[in-house]
């Protein structure tokens, strides 16, 4: 087995982990989470917990980024609604 390009802990199923990640377009954070989950306990029993902790870190990072994006969208919606209210008051006042 090629330990650089196709490590055994990523190729033990029917599809290589990277192919699954790319096929699903998971992106960096979710792709890394899947990578760490799929190899946990296979690369080394000593690092199984650490691999799962890394997966959680990447998932939390993705949640943080999505939350920030949603906050930005909500701020833009609020600005738009406030501007509409202002125009409405100017036109009726």
pLDDT digits (tens, 9 = 90+) for 56-84: 999 999 999 999 999 988 888 888 778 77
Residue 12 inside a domain? The answer is: yes
* Residue 16 CB coordination number (10 Å): 16
The answer to whether the predicted template modeling score (pTM) of the entire model surpasses 0.75 is no
- Domain range spanning residue 23? 8-92
Question: Phi/psi of residue 4, each to 5°?
Answer: -90, -50
Residue 1 inside a domain? The answer is: no
In total, how many domains does the chain have?
1
Residue 59 inside a domain? The answer is: yes
d(CA 43, CA 21) in angstroms, rounded, equals 19
What interhelical angle do 27-39 and 17-24 show, nearest 10? 150
Residue 63 inside a domain? The answer is: yes
Residue 43 inside a domain? The answer is: yes
8 A C-beta contact, residue 38 and residue 12? no
């Amino acid at each position: 087995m090629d330990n650089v390009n196709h490590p055994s802990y990523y190729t033990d199923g029917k599809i290589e982990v990277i192919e699954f990640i790319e096929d699903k377009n998971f992106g960096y954070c979710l792709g890394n989470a899947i990578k760490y989950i799929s190899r946990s306990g296979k690369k080394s029993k000593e690092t199984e917990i650490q691999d799962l902790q890394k997966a959680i870190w990447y998932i939390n990072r993705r949640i943080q980024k999505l939350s920030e994006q949603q906050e930005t969208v909500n701020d833009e919606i609020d600005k738009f609604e406030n501007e509409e209210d202002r125009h409405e008051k100017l036109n009726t006042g």
